[in-house]
Amino acid sequence: MENTAEALKRLVQEKYGQIALQSGTQLGSTCCGTSCGTPADDNCPPMADSYDGLNGYEADADLGLGCGLPTQFAGIRPGDTVVDLGAGAGNDCFVARAETGPAGRVIGVDMTAAMVEKARRNAEKLGYDNVEFHLGEIENLPLADGLADVVVSNCVMNLVPDKREAFAETFRILKPGGHFSISDVVLVGELPGAVRGAGEMYAGCVSGALQKEEYLGIIAEAGFRNVRLQKEKVIYLPDELLRNYLNPAELEAFRTSGTGIYSLTVYAEKR
């Protein structure tokens, strides 16, 4: 896999553009649909948490590509302006809209044109005039300084080549006193080289993940304060998937290495 920033962006745009044209029932083996949450069930939903019971949930906008429920932890208040980074088909935006209400504003940003179009169609179908979607990259957001009360993102920062710039941009668009709640994938320990270098595993939200402590350190370096974990869970990669990249000895070595892949939801404030 060519790992220049532009090559990685093209890879993600291609894969997620394909997903935007699929239905939810077709997503079991694509991108973030490549890994499961428990070793006991190889047919379990991938990394995504269930949105059952959350107000604003829209099944047509749920492509199963998240790894948490950041909106559940985001402390969104009526009238807030909320920005969703990597909004996909709009699912988290619509959940956020249920929290901020008709007096608020919800803005989704995604770098894949097909996703933005799908999200706009979903918003139009739902009749939401205070939810909008923009084409743009997280490292260079098409949004004004100090716009957002709250930023959310769901399993997207690991796909961004320059994570420092992504969190710097998150800081820039937040109002003083604003905060974010972001769900993402991180590592503790090293992935095997064949997994780390696989394009499908980058688009699958695994090989682009940072070490947990480095990830949290970048957030602090961006100027955020009161950084804290709101939720953490293990992500299990089934043997069936790993056999595409590892021989039996390599797979056994990985299983006994102590390497862990985790979904975390992290909160931080701009003061």
Contact at 8 Å (CB) between 82 and 152? yes
The residues facing 181 across adjacent strands are 152, 267
> 78-101 pLDDT, tens per residue?
999 999 999 999 999 999 999 999
Question: In angstroms, rounded to a whole number, what is the distance separating the alpha carbons of residues 212 and 225?
Answer: 17
Q: Count of CB atoms within 10 A of residue 60's CB?
A: 16
Give the residue-averaged pLDDT of 116-139: 97
What kind and span of H or E run contains 117?
A: helix 113-126
CATH architecture of 5-269: 3-Layer(aba) Sandwich (3.40)
3-state secondary structure of 145: coil
- Identify the band that residue 205 occupies on the pLDDT scale cut at 50, 70 and 90: confident
- Identify the band that residue 10 occupies on the pLDDT scale cut at 50, 70 and 90: confident
Residue 23: its pLDDT value, please? 55
CA dihedral 105, 64, 17, 89 (to 10 degrees): -20
3-state secondary structure of 38: coil
> 43-63 pLDDT, tens per residue?
444 578 889 889 999 999 999
> 268 CB contacts (<8 Å, ≥6 apart)?
179, 180, 219, 224, 225, 226, 227, 228
- Identify the band that residue 21 occupies on the pLDDT scale cut at 50, 70 and 90: confident
- Identify the band that residue 32 occupies on the pLDDT scale cut at 50, 70 and 90: low
Residue 31: its pLDDT value, please? 44
